């Protein structure tokens, strides 16, 4: 797949809340996932599918209810793509809110090899 095809498929899966399917189909076995420093995630850096799956489980454990996601993009440049994501979410012990972030991905040989997320902290 081209970077544009990977990006469009990623966005399609995320719009329907199927991050698990995106990981299974689109990510390289040795991919790296980076969260922002100070984000409160136990694993700021996850390397490999098993570690990324565990990071996803940890995030899901903090969620009380997921109400939906809006994806703008993707925008493709060479072997990178980016998109903005707005998640309508209720985290445990917190009021319902809209979380906004920018997602940046690198693609090699038709698979996502790195992802990094940027969002407000605090």
CATH code assigned at 84: 3.10.450.50
Q: What is the pLDDT of residue 24?
A: 92
One digit per residue, the tens of pLDDT, for the chain of length 122 reads 999 999 999 999 988 878 889 999 999 999 999 988 776 666 688 999 999 888 888 888 889 998 888 999 999 999 999 999 998 999 999 999 999 999 999 999 999 999 999 988 86
Q: Evaluate whether 27 touches 39 at the Cβ level (below 8 Å).
A: no
Residues in the chain: 122
DSSP for the chain, written as a single string: --HHHHHHHHHHHHHTT-HHHHHHHHEEEEEEEEPPTTS--S-SEEESHHHHHHHHHHHHHHEEEEEEEEEEEEEEETTEEEEEEEEEEEETTS--EEEEEEEEEEEETTEEEEEEEE----
Q: What is the pLDDT of residue 109?
A: 97
The number of distinct structural domains making up the chain is: 1
Q: What is the pLDDT of residue 18?
A: 85
Q: What is the pLDDT of residue 54?
A: 86
Prediction pTM value: 0.88
Joined tokens for residue 39: 């984000």
CA–CA separation, 117 and 11 (whole Å): 15
Domain that holds residue 77: 3-118
Q: What is the pLDDT of residue 41?
A: 64
């Amino acid at each position: 797949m081209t970077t544009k095809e990977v990006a469009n498929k990623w966005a399609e899966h995320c719009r329907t809340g199927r991050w698990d399917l995106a990981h299974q189909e689109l990510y390289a076995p040795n991919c790296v996932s980076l969260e922002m420093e100070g984000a409160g995630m136990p694993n700021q850096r996850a390397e490999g599918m098993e570690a990324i799956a565990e990071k996803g489980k940890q995030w899901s454990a903090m969620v009380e209810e997921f109400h939906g996601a809006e994806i703008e993009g993707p925008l493709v440049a060479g072997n990178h793509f980016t998109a903005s994501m707005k998640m309508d979410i209720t985290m445990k012990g917190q009021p319902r809110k809209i979380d906004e972030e920018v997602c940046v991905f690198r693609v090699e040989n038709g698979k996502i090899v790195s992802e990094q997320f940027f969002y407000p902290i605090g």
